[in-house]
Copies of this chain bind each other. A is one copy, B any other.
Amino acid sequence: MQGTAQQPTPPAAYTPTDRTVPTRSPERASYDRELVHSILDEGYVCHLGFVRDGRPVVLPTLYGRVGERLYVHGSTGSRPLRMTGGADPGLPVCLTVTHIDALVLARSAFHHSINYRSVVVHGIAHDVTDPEEKRAALDALVDHVVPGRAADSRPPNKKELAATAVIRLDLNEISAKLRTGGVNDEPEDLALPHWAGLVPLRKGYEAPVPDTDLTPGTRLPEYLAVP
């Protein structure tokens, strides 16, 4: 899911903007391109925010990345995808991806926290109309769920392509925010009797469960082997 080789190498960091500099804990913010990409690539769903009738709407949805573009797909009848179409100038969105790495249990209630990594993208989403870009975006969406999977599944046919809308969001106004490390209790609380520490969350997946209709003899692909 990298950009093609003939494109110029982008700068190592995104440029902060008013919207991407947090008012709180600015030391947790990062604009490092590789870090941002790695957080995006690790997620399964993003939370896509847009404004409808003046009110915010936040929906979970699959996404994929191709270089400096994110793609979100859905039925041609779904709300956010309908709103970008035709002569429309695009849909202002905020797309957020968050990983929870550990619970941070402090001695004080106040210092309880979570170790997380998140990316927030601001931008204008546009309908993808070019058939080649649309096909590549749909491959990226499948490969985002399981890398290598798009090549190991039946490609979309004309009817399926027509029923699927894809929107594109360029990665320009974007930042990561992270909390890492241990417990930050006040010095005067350190002797309190409460247990304190990190509780890491489990990652990865369990053993795959084959479809009941699977053709006998179909082997589990290597890309699904549980490490």
Contacts and interface: CB of A to CB of B under 8 A. Distances in A.
A118 B49 CA distance: 15
Interface in A122-163: 122, 138-139, 141-142, 145-146, 149-150, 152-157, 160
Nearest to A144: B112
A42 to B, nearest CB: 12
A142 B106 CA distance: 10
A199 to B, nearest CB: 5
Interface residues of A, number: 94
Contact of A201 (B62, B116, B206): B206
A221 to B, nearest CB: 5
Interface in A56-96: 56-60, 62, 74-75, 77-79, 92-96
A12 interface: no
The majority secondary structure among interface residues of chain A is mixed
Nearest to A100: B44
A106 B211 CA distance: 9
A167 interface: no
Interface of A: 19, 23-24, 44-45, 47-51, 54-60, 62, 74-75, 77-79, 92-96, 98, 100, 103, 105-110, 112, 114, 116, 118, 120, 122, 138-139, 141-142, 145-146, 149-150, 152-157, 160, 164, 182-183, 185, 189-215, 218-221, 224
